[in-house]
Amino acid sequence: MSKKTYVITGATSGIGNTLVKEFCKNNTVFAGYRNEKYVDELEKLGAIPFYIDMEKKDSIAKAAAFIKSQTETIDTIINVAGCVVAGVMEKLDVNEIRKQFEINTFSHLDFTQRLLPLLVNGKIINISSMASYGIFPFVGPYCASKRALDILFNSMAIESNIKVISVKPGVIATPLWGKSVQLNKKSIENCKNHEKEMQYMVANAEKNEKNGLDVHKVTDLIVKIDSLDNPKSSYTVGNDAKFAQFVSKLPQDWINKLVKCGIKAKVSSVK
């Protein structure tokens, strides 16, 4: 197989880091980090690290300029970086929701647009989520940011000949879950009348980090998608994600009733 060039954001942990390890075996991989402490590790893997903070427009511009200075072509851009903003919608600070969209949605579009001239006959693979099906309460910003990511990039695919693939995993065992509890500390405390629900969300996040699907279930699929000439536009990974996809097709009132009942049952088990 000929050597290819990959650009991967969120390359320091979980899904992104596993992809770097896989693709570095035979290829050129540009690997995005936001914390200097990962640079050595990425270099040891054989990747070319680049700094990118998805919240900072100038860092996105500099990252794209750096990549353009190093290569003339890119085969695949894999937009992985992301986080979860959670909380009770009646109380959530709108600036937290803006931050969620900056990190999970707008930054990826901005970064990708800057790299498009190098992506000739290439692919864009976005790590979306089952959250994109939009049925999960208390993580409304996360669901909305992933749905928006899918809609914006799908528009791009319809408007052009660019191949865009959305990968929608269910729960995967990565550090995302522990980080989300830390990131949302304020919202977890600011949840009057929904204390039990937030307690359940925290306990569930802790469980997910251990009991989620193995990360290779997603990364093996991405390697396969990357190798296909005509991949599908969307892939759903895991039974939970397939269930979310099924539920999302029901009438909205049915979805709401079903999800409310589900949450009530789960919360009643919280001591």
Ligand X SMILES: NC(=O)c1ccc[n+]([C@@H]2O[C@H](COP(=O)([O-])OP(=O)(O)OC[C@H]3O[C@@H](n4cnc5c(N)ncnc54)[C@H](OP(=O)(O)O)[C@@H]3O)[C@@H](O)[C@H]2O)c1
| Dihedral Cα 157, 27, 51, 110, nearest 10 deg | -10
Question: Per-residue contact track with ligand X, 25 to 64, x per CB under 6 A?
Answer: ---------xx----------------xxxx---------
Query: For residue 47, with 0-12 CB atoms within 10 Å meaning exposed, 13-18 middle and 19 or more buried, which class applies?
Result: buried
Minimum distance, C-beta of residue 186 to ligand X, in the bound complex (Å): 17
Residue 62 φ then ψ, to 5°: -65, -40
* Binding residues for ligand X restricted to 193-212, rule: CB under 6 A: 212
Query: Is residue 7 within the footprint of ligand X (CB under 6 A)?
Result: no
Query: Is residue 222 within the footprint of ligand X (CB under 6 A)?
Result: no
Query: Is residue 15 within the footprint of ligand X (CB under 6 A)?
Result: yes
Note whether 112 and 124 are within 8 A (CB).
yes
Q: Which two tokens stand for residue 202?
A: 């925290």
Question: Per-residue contact track with ligand X, 111 to 150, x per CB under 6 A?
Answer: ----------------x-x---------------------
Of residues 98, 179, 217, 242, which one binds ligand X by CB under 6 A? 179
* Packed helices 176-183 and 195-211: angle between N→C axes, nearest 10 degrees: 150
Strand partners, 8: 31, 78
Report in angstroms the alpha-carbon separations of 109 from 6, 79, 124. Answer: 17, 9, 11
Of residues 26, 73, 175, 254, which one binds ligand X by CB under 6 A? 175
CB-wise, 52 or 125, nearer to ligand X? 52
CB-wise, 45 or 195, nearer to ligand X? 45
Q: In 10 A of CB 193, how many CB atoms? A: 9
* Binding residues for ligand X restricted to 65-104, rule: CB under 6 A: 80-83, 103
Minimum distance, C-beta of residue 145 to ligand X, in the bound complex (Å): 9
State the Cα–Cα distance between residues 172 and 137, nearest whole angstrom.
19
Task: Tokens 């979980």: give the residue.
Answer: 14
Note whether 152 and 104 are within 8 A (CB).
no
Minimum distance, C-beta of residue 248 to ligand X, in the bound complex (Å): 15
Minimum distance, C-beta of residue 103 to ligand X, in the bound complex (Å): 5
CB-wise, 57 or 186, nearer to ligand X? 57
Minimum distance, C-beta of residue 216 to ligand X, in the bound complex (Å): 12
Q: By the criterion CB under 6 A, which residues form the site for ligand X?
A: 10-16, 34-35, 52-55, 80-83, 103, 127, 129, 169, 171-172, 174-176, 179, 212
